[in-house]
Amino acid sequence: MQQQRVNRDNRSYLWIYGYTKREGKPIVYGWFETEQQLHQWAFTYTNGNYDPYLLPTRSRAAATSMIKAKRLETEKIDLDEAITRVRHKGKDIGIEERNQ
């Protein structure tokens, strides 16, 4: 089982989930201590379509996992459908299409 890193200073940090200006690719970037730093970075590097997240970590891997979990929860995305989309309709991991 993977062990989560403990935030020993009990602080939260700001992170961005947004899309890059050039390619429109999704990006998770952080950590920021102030909203001013976050918005300044976002204005420079994203296309303006971004969401700030307040998370108890400075680890990008942990922040990415937390943001994905929050997005799945808030957007009511069906996990099976998301996996199928990501894995090219599930053929390489053994998930059969349900609409057959």
Count of Cβ atoms closer than 10 Å to residue 23 Cβ: 9
More confident residue, 5 or 11: 11
Measure the CA–CA gap between 46 and 16, rounded to whole angstroms: 10
Q: Give residue 96's pLDDT band: very low, low, confident or very high (50, 70, 90).
A: low
**Domain residue ranges of the chain, discontinuous segments joined by +:** 13-86
More confident residue, 39 or 75: 39
What does the angle CA 13 – CA 19 – CA 21 come to, to the nearest 5 degrees?
Answer: 120
Pairing of strands 46-55, 26-32: unpaired
pLDDT number for residue 94 = 52
pTM of the predicted model, to two decimals? 0.66
Measure the CA–CA gap between 11 and 33, rounded to whole angstroms: 10
Task: Give the mean model confidence (pLDDT) for residues 1-25.
Answer: 75
- With CA atoms as reference, report the closest residue to 46 among 17, 14, 66: 17
pLDDT at residue 88 is higher than 70? no
Residue 70 CB contacts under 8 Å (≥ 6 apart), including other chains:
53
pLDDT number for residue 7 = 58
